[in-house]
Chains A and B, each alone.
Chain A
Amino acid sequence: MRGARSRTRVPAPLLVPAALAVAFLVLPLVGLLVRAPWSSLGPALTTPGVGQALRLSLVSATLATLVSVLLGVPLAWVLARSAARGRTLLRALVTVPLVLPPVVGGVALFLVLGRQGVVGRWLFEAFDLTIPFTTTAVVIAETFVAMPFLVISVEGALRAADARFEDVAATLGADRWTTFRRVTLPLVAPGVGAGAVLCWARALGEFGATITFAGNFPGTTQTMPLAVYLALQRDPEAAIALSLVLLAVSLATLLLLRGRWLGRAAP
């Protein structure tokens, strides 16, 4: 038994379940690849609607991630650092979108932001503004479903970070806001990055809340998952082709991000 080698060897009780997990996660993907209509892939992908849906998916998922970061990181800070009472309840509420069936989430968004909704009615009457069936609605639906992923991973990073760095910053004249910007945030940047990636991926695949709250209209609200679902009603092979495009684009993006951005943070 050579020491150097035995260190890298995975113990059997870990190896077997790990291999099973890989198989479980990867085999469906293999299934898609095997059944993919490679010959008709070209025509399926050059259909004008596909590029449109793909672009809309990427733009809306990215916007949803931006909104999630802007609102979710401060929320994660409150959950991790503040001594406010009711924090446990708050944390439970934040995770509600994770367990709520997305379609129900879409209906819930209607009840608040829809034309007849509590806030939406006021927006409509005061500004003639309607949110449902717009790209804004897509971003809102995706944010609703995806932000908890960011909040939870950033909160975890904040809890794991050494709070004494914040003490040091305070003794060096930094107020809490400066400390947050110049010390806390850079320290948890890998966590924010991981959370943002998770959030983006979830937003990209979002279906239920989007089709309910934003509807489905090519160019404005039809994202790739919606296009895939509808293609499935008519032509399963086209649906597989579209799924592969979505998969390829998201995998490429994630690999690129990991290499350039997350890779630097992890030693």
Chain B
Amino acid sequence: MRARLAAAAVLLIVSGCGASDAPDGGDGRLSDGTSGPALSGTLTVFAAASLTDVFTDLGDQLMELHPSLAVRFNFAGSSALATQITQGAPADVFASANAAQMAVVTDAGMAQNPTVFAGNVLEIAVPAGNPGGVDGLADFARDELALAICAPDVPCGAAAEQVFDSAGVAAAPDTLEEDARAALTKVELGEVDAALVYASDVVSAGDAVEGIPFPEAENAVNAYPVCALADAPNPGAARAFVDLVLSGVGQAALGDAGFRAP
């Protein structure tokens, strides 16, 4: 019985990648000082969902430089990613949206010396045209508005609590969203008058959403750490990706996406 179960379980496990050192075939040149031997195999990057657009672009750039390298991404909530990594999911790089979830991985001894590569601050997101007439954090106390903030259990919610506390605003949200993306969706659909999300989320939503920065946001700057994992199947590629993120190219891309420098 047990043997049969094990056999069935094998089918469910997505096989990891086998990294191999291919002979140096390309020119190995990388802009902005990030250069090295040609990379090959598969690079698996676990990254916070808010990084989806930027990291996909950066991954494409890396693949252009190393044609025999395939970059795969697993974008999800940072805590889900941390759980997957500590449960043994084969990953080369972990980029978290906060220090706490990175700590879960480093405490488990699966990564060392994470580097903060970006910061993200909260911004008020309102539907195009701002139907609720929202202009500052104080509007989150208005009962008649439909308001979304993140649940305190997730990083953007913890940050929201922090800014409301420091601003002395008694927020009256209608919903505590499971992540910033879900809150943003409700803004995009026009179902809430305002949501508290990250500046990068507002940029990613395009014209449907307007962002309103507010000074209290500085009290809760969210730091994004990244690191190559200790058991990375493709350590060379992992190093190269982390370097790219930290490079001028990477930082410029992050800036365009609404992130700020660390």
Contacts and interface: CB of A to CB of B under 8 A. Distances in A.
Contact of A217 (B83, B174, B189): B174
B146 A132 contact: yes
13 contacts: A24-B5, A114-B191, A116-B191, A132-B174, A212-B182, A216-B151, A216-B175, A222-B176, A230-B154, A230-B178, A232-B80, A234-B79, A236-B83
B143 interface: no
A243 interface: no
B260 interface: no
Given A130-B146, A233-B154, A216 B177 contact: yes
Interface in B59-81: 77, 79-80
Interface in A97-116: 107, 110-111, 114-116
Interface string B1-14: 10011001000000
A20 B5 CA distance: 7
Contacts of B4: 16, 20
Given A110-B191, A215-B174, 8 more contacts: A23-B1, A110-B186, A211-B177, A212-B185, A216-B178, A230-B154, A231-B153, A232-B80
A20 B8 contact: yes
A23 B5 contact: yes
Contacts of B1: 19, 23
Q: What DSSP secondary structure best describes chain A's contact surface?
A: helix
Contact of A133 (B146, B153, B182): B146
Interface in A3-31: 16, 19-20, 23-24, 27
Kindly name the residue among A19, A114, A226 whose own CB sees the greatest number of chain B CB atoms within 10 A: A114
A221 interface: yes
Interface string B81-97: 00100000000000000
A186 B117 CA distance: 67
Contacts of A16: 4
B211 to A, nearest CB: 20
Kindly name the residue among B80, B189, B191 whose own CB sees the greatest number of chain A CB atoms within 10 A: B191
Interface in B102-159: 146, 148, 151, 153-154
A214 B190 CA distance: 14
Contacts of A236: 83
B41 to A, nearest CB: 32
A180 interface: no
B258 interface: no
A229 interface: yes
Nearest to A232: B79
Interface of A: 16, 19-20, 23-24, 27, 107, 110-111, 114-116, 130, 132-133, 211-212, 214-218, 221-222, 226, 229-234, 236
7 nearest A-B pairs in the assembled complex, by CB-CB distance = A215-B175, A133-B174, A234-B153, A116-B190, A230-B153, A233-B153, A233-B79
A118 to B, nearest CB: 13
B233 interface: no
Given A215-B177, A217-B175, A132 B191 contact: yes
B191 A115 contact: yes
A110 B175 CA distance: 15
Contacts of B79: 232-234
A232 B185 CA distance: 22
Contacts of B189: 107, 110-111, 114, 116
Contacts of B190: 114-116
Nearest to B158: A234
B262 to A, nearest CB: 24
B100 to A, nearest CB: 9
B194 to A, nearest CB: 13
A212 B175 CA distance: 10
A141 to B, nearest CB: 13
B225 interface: no
Given A114-B191, A233-B154, A215 B176 contact: yes
A110 B102 CA distance: 35
B250 interface: no
Nearest to B193: A115
B182 A211 contact: yes
A233 B158 CA distance: 12
Contacts of A132: 146, 174, 186, 191
A221 B153 CA distance: 16
Interface in B161-208: 173-178, 182, 185-186, 189-191
Interface string B33-77: 000000000000000000000000000000000000000000001
A111 B174 CA distance: 19
A216 B189 CA distance: 17
A234 B78 CA distance: 11
